[in-house]
Structure 1
Amino acid sequence: MKPMKFITTLLCAAPFCLATLASAAPLSITLPPETAVFKPSTLPGYALAQQKCSVCHSADYINFQPPGLSLAQWTAEAGKMQHVYGAPISDQDVSVIGAYLAVTYGSAKANDADVQAASNPPAAQPVAVTVAKVDAKTLLQNNACLSCHAIDHKVVGPAYHDVAAKYAKDPQALDRVMSSIQHGGSGKWGDVPMPPFAQLSPDDLKSLATFILSQ
Structure 2
Amino acid sequence: MKSMKPMMTLLCAAQFCLATMASAAPLSITLPPETAAFKPSALPGYQLAQQKCSICHSADYIAFQPPGLSLAQWTAEAGKMQHVYGAPISDQDVSMIGAYLAVTYGSAKASDAEVQAASNPVAAQPPAVPAAKADPMALLQNNACLSCHAIDHKVVGPAYHDVAARYVNDPQALTKVTSSIQHGGSGKWGDIPMPPFAQLSAEDLQTLTTFILSR
TM superposition score normalised by structure 1 = 0.89
> 2:204 maps to which residue?
204
* Contact 1:46 1:97 survives alignment (8 Å): yes
Which has the higher mean CA deviation after the structures are superposed, 77-86 or 118-127?
Answer: 118-127
**Shift in Å at residue 125 of structure 1?**
6.3
> 2:172 maps to which residue?
172
* Contact 1:55 1:195 survives alignment (8 Å): no
Is 1:141 the equivalent of 2:138? Answer: no
1:31 aligned partner, one-letter code: L
* Contact 2:149 2:160 survives alignment (8 Å): yes
Change in Cα spacing, 1:122 to 1:160, as seen in structure 2 (3 Å) is closer
- Note the residue ranges of structure 1 that are not aligned, 5 or more in a row: none
2:165 aligned partner, one-letter code: A
> 1:63 maps to which residue?
63
Q: Kindly provide the CA deviation profile for residues 163-191 of structure 1, in whole angstroms up to 9, marking residues without a partner as x.
A: 11211110111111111011101111111
Which has the higher mean CA deviation after the structures are superposed, 99-108 or 151-160?
Answer: 151-160
> 2:82 maps to which residue?
82
> 2:12 maps to which residue?
12
> 1:45 maps to which residue?
45
1:174 aligned partner, one-letter code: L
Change in Cα spacing, 1:66 to 1:143, as seen in structure 2 (3 Å) is same
> 1:24 maps to which residue?
24
**Shift in Å at residue 131 of structure 1?**
2.7
Distance 2:205 2:149 in 1: 16
Which has the higher mean CA deviation after the structures are superposed, 119-128 or 178-187?
Answer: 119-128
Which has the higher mean CA deviation after the structures are superposed, 112-121 or 38-47?
Answer: 112-121
Structure possessing the higher relative contact order (Cα contacts under 8 Å, 6 or more residues apart): 1
- Note the residue ranges of structure 2 that are not aligned, 5 or more in a row: none
Which has the higher mean CA deviation after the structures are superposed, 53-62 or 187-196?
Answer: 53-62
Q: Kindly provide the CA deviation profile for residues 123-179 of structure 1, in whole angstroms up to 9, marking residues without a partner as x.
A: 676799843222111111111111111222222111222211211110111111111
Distance 2:184 2:127 in 1: 23
Q: Report SS of the residue matched to 1:211.
A: helix
* Contact 2:153 2:159 survives alignment (8 Å): yes
Distance 1:182 1:126 in 2: 28
Distance 1:204 1:3 in 2: 79
Root-mean-square deviation over aligned CA pairs: 2.3
Q: Kindly provide the CA deviation profile for residues 7-54 of structure 1, in whole angstroms up to 9, marking residues without a partner as x.
A: 443322223222222222222222222222211112221122122212
Q: Report SS of the residue matched to 1:176.
A: helix
Change in Cα spacing, 1:3 to 1:137, as seen in structure 2 (3 Å) is farther
* Contact 2:108 2:115 survives alignment (8 Å): yes
Change in Cα spacing, 1:118 to 1:76, as seen in structure 2 (3 Å) is same
Q: Report SS of the residue matched to 1:11.
A: helix
Distance 1:65 1:104 in 2: 13
Change in Cα spacing, 1:112 to 1:154, as seen in structure 2 (3 Å) is same
Change in Cα spacing, 1:10 to 1:145, as seen in structure 2 (3 Å) is farther
Change in Cα spacing, 1:7 to 1:202, as seen in structure 2 (3 Å) is farther
2:88 aligned partner, one-letter code: P
Q: Report SS of the residue matched to 2:53.
A: helix
Which has the higher mean CA deviation after the structures are superposed, 147-156 or 125-134?
Answer: 125-134
**Shift in Å at residue 3 of structure 1?**
10
1:203 aligned partner, one-letter code: E
* Contact 1:34 1:193 survives alignment (8 Å): no
